[in-house]
Amino acid sequence: MPTTVYVIFDGDPEGPIDRLARAISEGARSVPDTRVVLHHPTQATLEQMVAADAIILGSPNWHGMTADLKGVVDQTGVIWEQGKLVGKVGAAFTSGWSRSGGQEITLLTLLHTLLAHGMVIVGLPWSKRMVRSGSYYGPTAVGGPTEDDLAQARALGRRVANYASWLAAGRGDAADAIEGGVFYQERRGHVVAR
């Protein structure tokens, strides 16, 4: 069964966020049996978030995420109590017009939402490229993305797709649920509280 990576991003067509989103998609699609859905906030639905194996959020640095993306995030409160995103893979990316403009704060704001849902966060490990581009928390760009920025985005897409695929394969016949604030795992008819 294919792994679905859902990329929700807010940015102008051909702008920095749009270009980073497409590079992330390219990286994710390089992993066999991976399907990528790219949506702007006005297209995003809770149903597609729940159906996805991974969710990647992208926003320009507006002292945090944009209002339109925040609207999508606010809607997830409905599924938060039900634990519908628990165990899925999450990641984030951003761009700004100044190197010290707060990109890492924007990434952390995006990741906070995913962490609150119990998602497994994937970032970028150290590489020499990180001297010029990106962050441990996710790909970034200052102004229009450079080739280093786009390479970081492709790397994140690959990492997210791989982790989502590995987690899906490891689940096997297990189903996870949250009931009354207690995490349960159901495996072959046995329910174990953790």
Which range of residues forms the domain containing residue 139? 3-193
- Please list the pLDDT of the chain residue by residue as tens digits (194 residues): 899 999 999 989 999 999 999 999 999 999 999 999 999 999 999 999 999 999 999 999 987 899 999 999 999 999 999 999 999 999 999 999 877 777 889 999 999 999 999 999 999 998 888 777 778 899 999 988 999 999 999 999 999 999 999 998 886 544 444 444 444 444 434 344 44
Residue 139: closest CA among 70, 64, 58? 58
Specify the pLDDT at position 170.
Answer: 84
Strand partners, 138: 135
Q: Which backbone phi and psi does 38 adopt, to 5 degrees?
A: -105, 125
Give the domain CATH number at 185: 3.40.50.360
Please tell me the total count of domains within the chain: 1
**Which has the closest alpha carbon to 182: 80, 90, 84, 83?**
83
Q: What integer pLDDT is reported at residue 126 of this predicted model?
A: 87
Residue ranges with strand state E in the chain: 3-9, 34-39, 54-60, 89-96, 120-121, 140-142, 175-179, 182-187, 190-193
Q: HSE on the CB side for 138, CA within 13 Å?
A: 30
Q: What is the pLDDT of residue 45?
A: 97
